[in-house]
Amino acid sequence: MPRGTYRHLEPDLEERFQCAPGAGGWRYVGERSDGVRVDLVVDARWRQMRVELAGPDWWIRGGVSGHDLIWVRGGGPEATERSVRALGFLGESPGFLVAVSRSLRLEPGGHADIRLVQITGTALSALTVDRRWRLAEVTTYETETEPLPVARYEVADLATGEVQVFHLAGDVVLDAPGIELADLETPPSLASLP
């Protein structure tokens, strides 16, 4: 069960996290130093079945139902329900990069154009975005215990053409734009991932 700390560079804050594969999928739980919490549960096909995000004033609860992503966003006494045809959420937490990447099941060199709902800031603002997700390569590194495959993904914003790169080992993001893996107490899950 990997656990550790990600550092968000802008704004400068930390996210303590733990994640683990289970009988029916995978779960990621994280809490940032600005009070934003994430609880992400995926099924065996890596579909985001239950997502809960909570900030100091706002919260979101949602998940995939068929081809649609459905969520409720609230703060105070009011809540608003929304839905859109989308693969899942893309939040500021690295857990979302893991879930989306694994759900696509890409081979090296393969890509997919997908629609996601991007959640940002402590206000948990939601914006529908289109991205091209490409698995550029997988490089295997020798370690003391077992070989560690590291996948390099390129994610292009289809509206602007901007491309961002991140590296993934099992269910841990090693680096991403604005994200550093500051501490890892236990190694990534590899063989036990669904």
- Is 64 within 8 Å of 100 (Cβ atoms)? no
Q: What is the pLDDT of residues 159-186, one digit of tens each?
A: 999 999 999 999 999 999 999 999 999 8
pTM: 0.94
Rounded to an integer, what distance in angstroms lies between the CA atom of residue 166 and that of residue 100? 13
- Is 193 within 8 Å of 171 (Cβ atoms)? yes
Residue, of 191 and 19, whose pLDDT is higher? 19
Rounded to an integer, what distance in angstroms lies between the CA atom of residue 188 and that of residue 83? 33
* pLDDT band per the 50, 70, 90 thresholds, residue 82: very high
pLDDT at 145 (0 to 100) = 80
Q: Is 178 helix (H, G, I), strand (E, B) or coil?
A: coil
Cα–chain-centroid distance for residue 80? 23
Rg of the chain over all Cα atoms, to the nearest angstrom? 16
Q: Where do runs of H (alpha helix) occur along 44-173?
A: 94-104
Instruction: Name the residue among 155, 179, 164 with its Cα closest to residue 11.
Output: 179
pLDDT at 75 (0 to 100) = 87
Q: What is the pLDDT of residues 110-133, one digit of tens each?
A: 999 999 999 998 889 999 999 999
Output DSSP code: residue 105: T
Compute, in degrees rounded to 10, the torsion defined by CA atoms 40, 43, 47, 53: -10
For tokens 């959420």, what's the residue?
89
The per-residue pLDDT of the chain, averaged, comes to 93
Cα–chain-centroid distance for residue 179? 12
Q: What is the pLDDT of residues 38-67, one digit of tens each?
A: 999 999 999 999 999 999 899 999 999 999
pLDDT at 21 (0 to 100) = 87
Cα–chain-centroid distance for residue 81? 22
pLDDT at 1 (0 to 100) = 82
> Does the structure show a pLDDT above 80 at 69?
yes
pLDDT at 191 (0 to 100) = 61
Find the mean pLDDT for residues 17-22.
Answer: 90
Rounded to an integer, what distance in angstroms lies between the CA atom of residue 103 and that of residue 177? 21
